[in-house]
Amino acid sequence: HEAVSAATRARLHVVAAEIELYFFQRADAVRRHGDAAAALAPDDPAVPTLRARALIERAGGGRDDPALAEARALLADAVRRDPRFLPALAALGECAEREGAFDEAERHYREAVRRRPGDATGYQRLCRLHGMDERPRATDPVPEFVERAAEVEPASAYASLLEGGAAYQRRRQLERAAEWCRRAVALEPGRPQAHVALGVLCEELEDVAAAQECYRTAVQVAPEWMDGHLGLIRLAEDAERWPELEALCERALAVPAEYHPLLRALAGRAAWKRGEREWGARTLLAALREAPADEAILQRIERTLEEASWGPADVAAGRAVYEAVREVLGPGYEPRYRLHLG
């Protein structure tokens, strides 16, 4: 620990805070790591940038949002400390995006390109921005942004192609989006992200067989990555293929343990739908007790009960489940509990 410089330790605290912010949404942990970083390296531009990103994440949007105004001030401070600090330059553009000021956002991202010409981030953000900005333009700049990003930073080519696909998906130009995702698949077939992105597009294009093949490939190349499994599970759930859904949940246990409660909830839903109400209810409630803050698990429980046939056995079983859910979640669930009982 002592052999690592204070500056390096500060950046490690920033990375830890970003993980807490984007993956776990634990505000206290973000604040704790941010304070530790500030104590170790008070002049590091990463510190005010981190605090600004936390504000951006909870901002509602709009020009009068006080969180965005505070974030702008912190980012201006970060840029004063280091005019080439890319995360701060990009976050300024994100503030403008949240306010709906697309022209200003574009100026920030182009400034990021100017100040850091060897980095792909500015081009990728421009690509994303033009996917959200639906105003008509004489020419489509997205292909140029993708190509430039790959040219200045070849290691970013895969991610840049996916940004191109996402831009066209936001515009609802699904066939064009699929073309960019196929290019990413061809470039690096051993990575799962493009397979999943293409699968989602195939679903939107109502080609379920192609979507299933994309998700299967994603699972083959990265069995520990959740999104491929979720794609297959979603298709089975939508088609009400309950035995297949249970088998998919079992195979998906190669993913990190944090996803296991959701998989158990999905398996419990499938068991209930197959007629094994007692086993399904126990499994659903066990998943909720393991991860009571996971809204996806609660939604699966409520959806399962709402879809019941509501014969006498279903009514009794459903009431028992709702009462158990209220016991797990406490007073905050009371309004939903009464709504569902009604």
Q: Token digits for 306?
A: 């709402």
Give how far Cα 273 sits from Cα of 29, 251, 315, Å.
Answer: 40, 20, 15
Q: What is the pLDDT of residues 195-242, one digit of tens each?
A: 999 999 999 999 999 999 999 999 999 999 999 999 999 999 999 999
Which residues make Cβ contacts (< 8 Å) with residue 319, sequence separation at least 6?
341
Q: Are 53 and 91 in contact (CB under 8 A)?
A: yes
Q: What is the pLDDT of residues 15-48, one digit of tens each?
A: 998 888 888 778 888 899 889 989 999 999 999 9
Nearest alpha-carbon partner for 80 in 37, 128, 48: 48
| pTM of the predicted model as reported, rounded to 2 decimal places | 0.81
Q: What is the pLDDT of residues 95-130, one digit of tens each?
A: 998 888 889 999 999 999 999 988 899 999 999 888
Q: How confident is the model at residue 178 (pLDDT cuts 50, 70, 90)?
A: very high
Q: Are 268 and 282 in contact (CB under 8 A)?
A: yes
Distance, CA of 284 to CA of 270 (rounded, Å): 10
